[in-house]
Amino acid sequence: MSITVYPARKIITMNAMQPEASHVAVRDGRVLSVGSLDDAAAWGTYTLDETFKDKVLMPGLIEGHCHLKEGSMWDMHYLGWFDRRDPQGKVWSGLRSMDAVVARLAEVEAQMRADGKPADEPMIAWGFDPIYFGGERMTVDHLDRASTGTNTKRPIVIAHANGHLMNVNSAMLKLAGITRDNEVEGVVKFAADAGANAGEPTGELQEPAAMFLVVRKVGDAGLLAPMTVEGIRSFARLACMQGVTTATDLVNKLTDADCAVLETALGDDAVGIRILPAFQAFHGTHGAALGAEHVKALIPRNTDKLRYGLVKMMLDGSIQGFSARLRWPGHFNGAPNGIWVMAPAQYEADFETYHRAGLLIHTHTNADEASEAAIDAVERVLTRAPRPDHRHTLQHGQMIDAPMFRRMASLGLCANLFANHLWYWGDQHYEMTMGPDRANRLDACGSALAAGVPLAIHSDAPVTPLGPLFTAWCAVNRLTPKGRVLGAAERISVPQALRAITLGAAYTLKLDGEVGSIECGKRADFCVLEDDPLSMDPMALKDVRVWGTVLSGRVFPAHA
Ligand SMILES: [Zn+2]
């Protein structure tokens, strides 16, 4: 097979044996040699490809917690606080008040009517987060204003940015049959002093059980619509623009249809991404034993670009949605404690089933009571059923403190921390959810590394935008939009952060022997940069320009 040698301005290998190099030789989609031109030439006849001679190469970036939905959210209407770029490059400006949100919905209503859409076709929007509006919650009163006098039949569904909550209008409540008598946990009701509204549902629905009442009626209309081949193509384009070559889809039901879509999309050589879909092992799945058998039966279908075998579990909700489970003293603003998405005892039983089946389990735990419950459960399971090198991982783990990190290290648990929160919700955690003291330990990367916990960091896209170099910037600087530095002592260095978005993430996915560094034998997966992240001001890390990617030796320019 032919050898291609790529000279580069600099190659950051993430391999301690040889941290930097000037040439990389590729054969059969793998790295054959890293070093000088002479090192490469020693392998025999080669073709010199100078595409990257002015570029900086590093290992293809790895997003250990995101969702393929990042590629198809833009089929719905964006209502976020921050400006955000869609896959076509259009920047949608952020909405800075409840009135601005209602106004955009009214525009969408007018557009839907102009387009001749049926009056009862659902309107679905995403990215909303009322925490930025100083505590005012959205209710049916806001949403019914979006369609007053024009159309009162259209169901409106607003997904919050965190994915854990939604708001619906009166028409949607009616369609879903949600009334004051509904007993499902997470169906929020107006307080007793709310006059005529007292005891009626507000339209806010928290966590999967409550949201399912709505999703089962409109699921195919967008929010939880099944992933499509086109959606995965769009995700792959976004990933390429961010230098990502390996990503998770961290909640997937893995039905026959889901698997067919994944296998069709990733079987196409033009789709330049490696995906690890994680089986949804919580609400809506039927029994851990069946789930484990299902995932194990899929593993023989793995390819270079599609890897089954991950399992996603979930304990609590979202901190900024006030649905996460906190230890004493609870929320800084006095809000009640959050929701167990899965009861800890059930979690432990199901975790043991998947663990005994030999599968790799990633568990969502946002606040500290949930993380502690997971650590307690894992400790008991590992005592009953020891398994070397399991690499089970806590996802988000935003309020884990040093004692918990030390327990995690001794149990072999990995942490994938949600560093993007430091920017996107850092001020809200300081002012409302955690208060000025505990906000300092939000996504405590420094403590995780000090305790020896294998560390990755993530975006949870589409909760926040996909972009590991931005995520690394968050972990390095810990800066908030209002200029606070949350817990300066928890900052990590640029090399540590670059490791967390390459080898660190690969380790949590059991792929570190295959990707995550540029060294002989590994997949030829590169992130191609215009700038050198190691020789820049750490505050500029988020501005590093990405040229594109290489996946298993195949070149993908981001702006072809
Ligand atoms: Zn997620």
Question: Which letter, b or e, does each residue of 66-94 get, where b requires 16 or more Cβ atoms within 10 Å of its Cβ?
Answer: bbbbbbbbbbbbbbbbbebeebeeeebee
What are the distances in angstroms from CA 301 to CA 85, 252, 263, 272? 35, 16, 9, 19
Residue partners of 546: CB distance under 8 A and separation at least 6: 241, 242, 243, 469, 527, 528, 529, 530, 558
Least confident of 53-57, 296-300, 462-466: 462-466
CB 295, CB 311: distance < 8 Å: yes
Q: Give the Å distance between the CA of 94 and the centre of ligand 1.
A: 22
Q: 205: which residues sit within 8 A by CB, 6+ positions away?
A: 165, 166, 167, 168, 178, 186, 187, 188, 211, 213, 214
Instruction: Name the strands in the sheet holding 61-63, side by side, starting at the edge strand that comes first in the sequence.
Output: 61-63, 244-252, 274-280, 310-314, 360-365, 393-396, 414-417, 455-457
Q: What is the mean pLDDT of the chain?
A: 94
The average pLDDT across 258-264 equals 97
CA 303, 308, 310, 312 dihedral sign is positive
354-394 pLDDT, tens digit each: 999 999 999 999 999 999 999 999 999 999 999 999 999 99
How far away, in angstroms, is 250 Cα from ligand 1 center?
Answer: 6
C-alpha 449 – ligand 1 centre gap (Å): 23
- Higher model confidence: residue 135 or residue 72? 72
Lowest-confidence segment of 131-135, 225-229, 282-286, 372-376 by average pLDDT: 282-286
Using the mean position of ligand 1's atoms as its centre, give its distance from the Cα of residue 68 in Å: 10
| CA 63 to ligand 1 centroid distance, Å | 11
Give the pLDDT score at 162.
85
Q: 102 Cβ partners below 8 Å, 6+ apart? A: 142, 143, 145, 146
Q: Which of 183-187, 350-354, 484-488 has the lowest mean pLDDT?
A: 183-187
Rounded CA-CA distance 154/385 in Å is 53
Backbone angles phi, psi at 414, to 5 degrees: -95, 160
Q: How confident is the model at residue 226 (pLDDT cuts 50, 70, 90)?
A: confident
CA of 66 to the centre of ligand 1 (A): 6
How would residue 163 be classed by pLDDT, with cut points 50, 70 and 90? confident
- State whether residue 70 is helix, strand or coil: helix
Task: Answer yes or no: are the C-beta atoms of 253 and 285 closer than 8 Å.
Answer: yes
Percent of the chain with pLDDT over 90: 86
Q: Report residue 219's pLDDT band, with 50, 70 and 90 as the boundaries.
A: low
Q: Residue 284: what pLDDT?
A: 57
Cβ contact 11:502 at 8 Å: no
Q: Would the pLDDT of 277 be above 80? A: yes
User: What percent of the chain shows pLDDT beyond 70?
Assistant: 98
Confidence of residue 86 (pLDDT cuts 50, 70, 90): confident
* pLDDT value for 377: 98
Q: Which of the four pLDDT bands, split at 50, 70 and 90, describes residue 223?
A: low
For residue 305, the CA-to-ligand 1 centroid distance in Å is 21
Q: What's the pLDDT at 508?
A: 98
